[in-house]
Amino acid sequence: MSSCSSCSSQGGGSPDAAMALQDSLIAATLGQIRHKIFVMSGKGGVGKSSVTVNTAAALAARGFKVGILDVDIHGPSVPNLLGLECGIELDESGSLMLPAQYNENLAVISMDSLLKDRNQAVLWRGPKKTAAIRQFIADVKWGALDFLVLDSPPGTGDEHMTVLKSIPDSQCVVVTTPQEISLADVRKAINFLQYAKAGILGLVENMSGLSCPHCHKEIDLFKKGGGRKLAEQYHIPVLGEIPLDVATVVAADRGVPVVLMDGDSPAKSAFLALADNIAKAVGESPRA
């Protein structure tokens, strides 16, 4: 990243001048992006990355230009879910990074793409993570996008505060599972967003029942409806309820979003409906 345009070593400027330059680059980049969707949750293991990837792929399939920014510095999984193995390249000027292109409508930036060894741990503290996220916005040639979908780590830490400060008009999509142990952490995340005065677009209940692949009946394996009750409590719209589905596991192992798999499946239908609800919530109509 040392050659990127917002690096303070360029021109020997002061840290304040470098920060001001980066702020202007971030503003210029975000000015070309219509909607910023921040996928988050207070709980790990609820499927934020799966929701991010499939929502973004579904929006791209609807004809929107979409970027995915993976701000999970320590556990990036977006490239694996998309089967992307390519690294990051620079543009002709050598000053801007080019996002990895999944298809003509979908591009990705992730910490995983910058690692020579993807099994290597990233041992960074808060300031370095903050700097990396800001660089992923300022020094990436995103171009004109309809949606930038951000995948986050669990909790309410440095990454979340950096995103909300750097992208103040981002709309948050909160992901939960139906169980109380998940809902308890998600309540804290909603409280965090309220204190931060962030826009909450709505809530997604992931792992909402199990669609049996044999009899096609629904089984409440991890309960169902806890997310809807939480949304009603906080007056938040429910954007989608995604069932557990064998097709999702198969798709993830293949590195293909389930929404782009051949054939129909309960998870595919639910993710497509989720993407349509998000587009409708921000006032967009399908482009395709």
Contact 203, 238 (CB under 8 A): yes
Mean pLDDT of 202-219: 86
pLDDT at 263 > cutoff 50: yes
Asked if the model's pLDDT at residue 267 lies above 60, the reply is: yes
Q: What is the pLDDT of residue 8?
A: 47
User: What percent of the chain has a predicted confidence (pLDDT) above 90?
Assistant: 72
- Give the CA count within 13 Å in the CB-facing half-sphere of 3: 10
pLDDT for 287 beyond 80: no
Give mean pLDDT, residues 44-69: 96
Residue 118: predicted pLDDT:
64
pLDDT beyond 90 at 48: yes
Q: Which amino acid belongs to residue 101?
A: Q
Please tell me whether residue 43 adopts helix, strand or coil conformation.
coil
Model pTM score: 0.90
pLDDT greater than 70 at residue 97: yes
Rounded CA separation 245/170 (Å): 30
Question: Looking at the predicted structure, is the pLDDT value of residue 228 above 80?
Answer: yes
Cα atoms in the 13 Å half-sphere on the side-chain side of 106: 23
pLDDT in tens, 12-41: 567 889 889 999 999 999 999 999 999 999
Region 115-131: mean pLDDT is 78
Of 17-26, 63-72, 120-129, give the lowest mean pLDDT range: 120-129
CB 4 within 8 A of CB 95: yes
Q: What local confidence, expressed as pLDDT, does residue 100 receive?
A: 92
Q: Is residue 163 predicted with pLDDT exceeding 80?
A: yes
- The CA R_g of the chain, rounded to the nearest whole Å, is 19
The residues, any chain, with a CB within 8 Å of residue 278's CB and separated by 6 or more, are 37, 55, 59, 173, 201, 202, 239
d(CA 110, CA 133): 10
Mean pLDDT, to the nearest integer, of 39-63? 95
- On average, the pLDDT of the chain sits at 89
Please name the amino acid found at residue 137: I
For residues 254 and 231, the answer to whether their CB atoms sit within 8 Å is no
Which of 57-71, 83-97, 116-130, 169-183 bottoms out in mean pLDDT, i.e. has the lowest?
Answer: 116-130
Residue type, 247: A
pLDDT for 288 equals: 46
CA distance 170 to 200: 9
Alpha-carbon distance of 227 to 265, in angstroms, equals 22
Q: Are 120 and 90 in contact (CB under 8 A)?
A: no
Question: For residue 68, what pLDDT band results from cuts at 50, 70 and 90?
Answer: very high
- Across 42-46, 50-54, 82-86, which has the greatest mean pLDDT? 50-54
Annotate 58-80 with DSSP letters as a single string: HHHHTT--EEEEE--SSS--HHH
- Measure the CA–CA gap between 150 and 72, rounded to whole angstroms: 9
**pLDDT the model gives residue 220:** 84
- pLDDT above 70 for 9: no
Q: pLDDT grade, residue 251 (50/70/90)? A: very high
Helices (H) and strands (E) in the chain, counts: 9, 11
